[in-house]
Amino acid sequence: VRVWRYLKGKDIVTHEILLDGGNKVVIGGFGDPLICDNQVSTGDTRIFFVNPAPQYMWPAHRNELMLNSSLMRITLRNLEEVEHCVEELRRFVLANQP
Distance CA 97, CA 62 (A): 31
User: Model confidence over 10-31: pLDDT tens digits?
Assistant: 677 777 888 887 778 888 888 8
Domain 10-95, second-level architecture = Beta Barrel (2.40)
Nearest in space to 32 (alpha carbons), one of 2, 85, 71, 78 = 71
Q: Phi, psi at residue 91, to the nearest 5°?
A: -65, -40
pLDDT in tens, 33-81: 888 888 888 888 888 888 899 999 899 888 899 998 888 888 889 888 8
The Cα 63–Cα 16 span in angstroms is 6
CA 45 to CA 57: how far, in whole Å?
A: 27
Nearest-angstrom CA–CA distance, 66 and 77 = 25
The one-character DSSP state at 57 is G
* Per-residue confidence (pLDDT) for residue 56, from 0 to 100: 92
Average pLDDT, the chain: 83
Supply the pTM of this predicted model. 0.69
